[in-house]
Amino acid sequence: MSSSPILKVSDLSKQFGGVRAVNHVDFKLTKGELLGLIGPNGSGKTTIVNLITGFVKPTAGEVYYKDRKITGWAPYKVVRLGVARTFQMVRPFYQLPAFKNMIIPLYSPRVKGLAGGKYGDRDAVALDLLEEVGFERDSFVAYKPASVLPQGYLKRLELAKAIALQPDLLILDELFSGLSLAEVASIVPIIEKLRMEGKTIIMIEHRLKELFRIADRIIVLNFGEKIADGKASEVMESEEVKKAYLGTEAG
């Protein structure tokens, strides 16, 4: 089984009206791999995440997860199989304390199923998970309402909500955007640790320097099409990739 991919996306396309957001994209992902998905704004990265996690139904093509066809499945069913994602735009429950924000994922059937039908003490688990992503326990920051937390903590909270689902495949949509260098530097080890635990990870990032340091492989999208796929160093050599990035930089 080790040879069969954990995720296979084949000939995936999505059209919004006249916009071809994703156009005939193919790729496979082996277990334990960390894939960086990059491309200019509007190149279809988030749409691919939405297609895999069931938030958007494809116009054409298939998604396979652990050899199972999950194309067009409802998001909650995809999560049950072990795929978790974060959102580019974080929208926590602002009036609730950070740790109470964790209750909803901890309430999900996936968590209950993995715990053998028991939920356990959700508040305690929530606090443990938040500590894992950098909510220092002695600072009591986990008890503060989300409305007063800085962006860095909100992103960590978003990450903790996804980790709470104990996923095998974790998809992070621009987790680093809006964060300072120091904040990014403090989150990188958390992701490396998740990887050591054997999780397969897809990271969508604009912070290429940080991404290239941890990613095994990079896929570049432009106008919904995959224009490069390979090691970071190889990919950035490609003329097409240079053009795509220069193109957006220039205009």
Partner 1 sequence: MKRRRERIDRGIKVRSEDIFALCSWREMLYLAFPRLLPIVGLILLSFVLSIYWQKVLLSVSVFALLAISWDILAQTGMISLGQALFFGMGAYLAGIMNHTWGLSPFITIPVATVSGGLFCTLLLLPVLRLRGIYFSMVTLILPLMLVRIVEATKIFGGTEGLSGLGALPSRWVELYTVILALLAALFGLRRLMGSDFGLVLKGINDNDRSVMSAGINIYWFKAQALFIAGSVGAFAGAYMTHVYMFVGMPVFALDYSILPIAAAVVGGTGTLAGPMLGAFILVPLSEILRGLGGLRIVFYGLFLVVFTVALPEGIFHYIARKYHQFERWVEVDT
Ligand X SMILES: Nc1ncnc2c1ncn2[C@@H]1O[C@H](COP(=O)(O)OP(=O)(O)O)[C@@H](O)[C@H]1O
How many C-beta atoms lie closer than 10 Å to residue 24's C-beta?
14
Q: Are 220 and 235 in contact (CB under 8 A)?
A: yes
**122 binding partner (options partner 1, Mg ion, ligand X, none; Cβ < 5 to 8 Å by kind):** partner 1
Q: Are 232 and 240 in contact (CB under 8 A)?
A: no
Report, in Å, the least distance between residue 115 CB and ligand X.
34
- Tokens (6 digits) for 76: 């909650």
Instruction: Identify which of 94, 96, 118, 91 has the alpha carbon closest to the alpha carbon of residue 106.
Output: 118
Q: For residues 74 and 246, which CB has a smaller minimum distance to partner 1 in the complex?
A: 74
Give rounded-to-5 percent helix, strand, coil for the chain: 40, 25, 35
Report, in Å, the least distance between residue 14 CB and ligand X.
8
Ranges within 84-103 binding Mg ion (CB under 5 A)? 88
Q: For residues 42 and 230, which CB has a smaller minimum distance to ligand X in the complex?
A: 42
Q: For residues 88 and 166, which CB has a smaller minimum distance to Mg ion in the complex?
A: 88
Report phi then psi at 135, rounded to 5.
-85, 100
- Site for Mg ion contains 46 (CB under 5 A): yes
Out of 45, 85, 199, 226, name the contact with partner 1 by CB under 8 A.
85
Residues that bind partner 1 (CB under 8 A): 53, 55, 74-76, 79-80, 84-85, 87, 91-93, 96, 100, 103-105, 107-111, 122, 161-162, 164-165
